[in-house]
């Protein structure tokens, strides 16, 4: 062969290649988001030795098993509290939470808002396929009205969460939404999140052709990507109250929130220093419980 053999797919060094091929369906968008993630890691020059990735349960939850990082596939909905403990115990770690909409916003919804309120220094990537996929296409708190799911066979009628609005209200310092069509913008958003201290939330609208699109007669993954291309509108700084999703309507994408406020550990330190003065002993950076 030729010189090309020496080059590799830029995502490859971030993957547990011994676990490839992955389980995701043809046309599923989750793998695409991982490409953007890899590009963001390259661009941000994040030290991979001190980067940990935490997932919950679901199709996106499997990301943890495919990335060559310290990676934790936790319980359903609890990626954020696990990540919180990891970050608290070793503040030097850069901690990414990579999970799905059902995992983060339904069963894990309470943790999501509280971690944002506390401003824990976590980068949360929420792959939103608008449905529970791993379990077979049930309604999620993100499923848009009138969509058909296996548990709403006559159409959903529950109002859906507008996640950027929720996270904005809860206090996240960085909130953006892109789709899997916006691979470069997504990579940039992830890089921006890495540069920020505090709770960042990136929603990625992603196709689940197998369960969501097919049941709603929206075609395959490619049709969905074309829909994202046609119907997305970039509105940086859009009021998050106005970015809710509908079944077939416009998808407002962009960076909605980018603000600074002290993160949990800075606030904790400041409070202790103020109240305890010299009696405060900061947790040793590499506290060793080993022999």
Partner 1 sequence: MIVLLHGLGDQVAKGRVSIVVERCKACGFCVEFCPTHVLALSSAFNSKGYHPPHVVHPEKCSGCDLCGMYCPDFAIYATKIAEPKAQKTAGGDE
Partner 2 sequence: MKADPHGVLTGTHFIDGDHACCEGALAAGARFAAGYPITPSTEVVERFAARVPTVGGTFIQMEDELAASITLQGAVWGGAKAFTVTSGPGFSLMMEHIGYAAMTETPCVFVDVQRGGPSTGLPTLPAQADMMQARWGSHGDYEIIALCPNSPQECFDLTIKAFNLAEEFRVPVMFMMDEVVGHMTEKVVIPPAEQIEVVPRKHTHKSIQDYLPYGTNGDMVPEMAHAGEGYKFHVTGLTHDERGYPNMTPQMQDKLVKRLQNKIRTAADRICIFEQDRLESAEVVVVSYGITSRVAQRAIDLARDRGLRVGKLRLITAWPFPAKKIAELASQVKAFVVPELNLGQMVREVERAVAGLAKTVAVSHAGGGVHSPDEILNTIVEASR
Query: Shortest Cβ distance from residue 143 to ligand SF4 (Å)?
Result: 13
In the range 30-59, which residues lie near ligand SF4 by CB under 6 A?
30, 59
In terms of C-beta density within 10 A (0-12 exposed, 13-18 middle, 19 or more buried), how is residue 1 classed? Answer: exposed
With beta carbons less than 8 A apart as the criterion, state whether 131 and 167 touch. Answer: no
18 binds partner 1 (CB under 8 A): no
SS3 category, 66? helix
Among 54, 63, 205, 225, binds partner 2 (CB under 8 A): 54
Report how far residue 67's alpha carbon sits from residue 175's, in angstroms, rounded to the nearest whole number: 24
Nearest approach, Cβ of residue 195 and partner 2 (Å): 20
Among 46, 64, 106, 245, binds partner 2 (CB under 8 A): 64
Shortest distance (Å) from residue 17 CB to partner 2: 12
Alpha-carbon distance 19 to 66, whole Å? 7
Within 10 Å of residue 77's Cβ, how many Cβ atoms? Answer: 22
How would you class 196 by CB atoms within 10 Å of its CB: exposed for 0-12, middle for 13-18, buried for 19 or more?
Answer: middle
Residues 226-255 that bind partner 2 (CB under 8 A): none
Interface positions with partner 2 (CB under 8 A): 16, 18-19, 48-50, 52, 54, 64-65, 68-75, 77-78, 81-90, 92-93, 110-111, 114, 268, 272, 276, 279-284, 286-291
Interface positions with ligand SF4 (CB under 6 A): 24-25, 28, 30, 59, 129, 133, 208-211
């Amino acid at each position: 062969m030729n010189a090309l053999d020496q080059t590799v797919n830029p995502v490859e060094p971030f993957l547990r290649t011994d676990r490839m091929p992955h389980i995701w369906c043809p046309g599923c968008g989750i793998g695409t988001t991982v490409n953007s993630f890899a590009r963001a890691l390259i661009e941000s020059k994040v030290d991979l030795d001190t980067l940990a990735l935490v997932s919950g349960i679901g199709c996106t939850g499997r990301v943890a098993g495919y990335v060559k990082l310290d990676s934790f596939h936790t319980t359903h909905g609890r990626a954020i509290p696990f990540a919180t403990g990891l970050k608290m115990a070793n503040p030097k770690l850069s901690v990414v939470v990579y999970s799905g909409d059902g995992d983060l916003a339904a069963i894990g919804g309470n943790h999501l808002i509280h971690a944002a309120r506390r401003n824990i220094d976590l980068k949360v990537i929420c792959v939103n396929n608008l449905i529970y996929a791993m379990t077979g296409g049930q309604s999620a708190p993100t499923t848009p009205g009138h969509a058909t799911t296996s548990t709403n066979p006559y159409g959903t009628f529950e109002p859906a969460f507008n996640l950027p609005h929720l996270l904005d209200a809860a206090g996240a310092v960085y909130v953006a939404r892109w789709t899997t069509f916006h691979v470069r913008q997504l990579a940039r958003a992830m890089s921006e999140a890495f540069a920020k201290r505090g709770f960042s939330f990136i929603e990625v609208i992603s196709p689940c052709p197998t369960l969501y699109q097919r049941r709603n007669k929206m075609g395959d993954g490619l049709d969905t990507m074309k829909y994202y291309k046609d119907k997305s509108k970039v509105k940086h700084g859009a009021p998050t109250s106005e970015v809710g999703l509908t079944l077939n309507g416009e998808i407002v994408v962009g960076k909605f929130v980018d603000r600074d406020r002290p993160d949990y550990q800075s606030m904790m330190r400041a409070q202790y220093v103020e109240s305890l003065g010299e009696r405060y002993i900061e947790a040793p950076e590499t506290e060793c419980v080993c022999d």
